[in-house]
Amino acid sequence: MTELTEQTRRLISCSSLVLVASVDAEGNCDVSPRGGPAGFVAVLDARTVAIPDATGNKRLDSLQNVIATGRAGLLFVIPGRTTTLRVNGRAGVSTRPELLSQLTAVGKPPASALVLGIEEVYPHCPKALLRGGAWKPEQWLPADAQPTSAEVTLAQLRMPALTIADIEQVEADSLKYRYE
């Protein structure tokens, strides 16, 4: 399909997580999650959606890629459900106040929004989520089976004076002060 149906609009309104795929001018790929309350992605019309850019880690990879190439792909996910929706098309970044004022699902207008003009939309096969046990806590690994995000960050930064406790504090502050 090249536009949203009533059913695909309903799927988007139930989604609290969307993965944004983009590519830069050199062909380097990026996938970045965006989250908010169910329905945080606005359906502007049958061929256009807008994703508010909420405060996060202050990396702008997806937005820079969209500016460079004008393309993006979206995968809408509904926690606890296996139905996902893929949406691909032309993309841009908007700072128009009249648009941003409509995107207040997180409590305030964002500084910008990724706007996607739909070229193709279709449900994606649920088998990967089923095989991966994504929604089955009894199949999840224990938390200590993986390195923490602070451990991964520390290993990548290679800064001897920095400790895991320092990074954990920065992460805690980030969640506390940037979640709004």
Asked if residue 33 and residue 109 are part of one domain, the reply reads yes
Q: Name the domain count of the chain.
A: 2
Asked if residue 128 and residue 146 are part of one domain, the reply reads no
Give residues with Cβ within 8 angstroms of 5, minimum separation 6.
none
pLDDT lower than 50: segments of the chain: 179-180
User: Contact, 95 vs 51, CB < 8 A?
Assistant: no
- CATH number of the domain to which 125 belongs: 2.30.110.10
Q: According to the model, what pLDDT value does residue 105 have?
A: 79
Q: According to the model, what pLDDT value does residue 171 have?
A: 86
Q: According to the model, what pLDDT value does residue 180 have?
A: 44
Domain-ending residue, one of 132, 150, 170: 132
> What is the residue range of 49's domain?
6-132
CA–centroid distance for 170 within its chain: 21
Asked if residue 171 and residue 120 are part of one domain, the reply reads no
Q: According to the model, what pLDDT value does residue 104 have?
A: 85
Q: Is residue 99 part of a domain?
A: yes
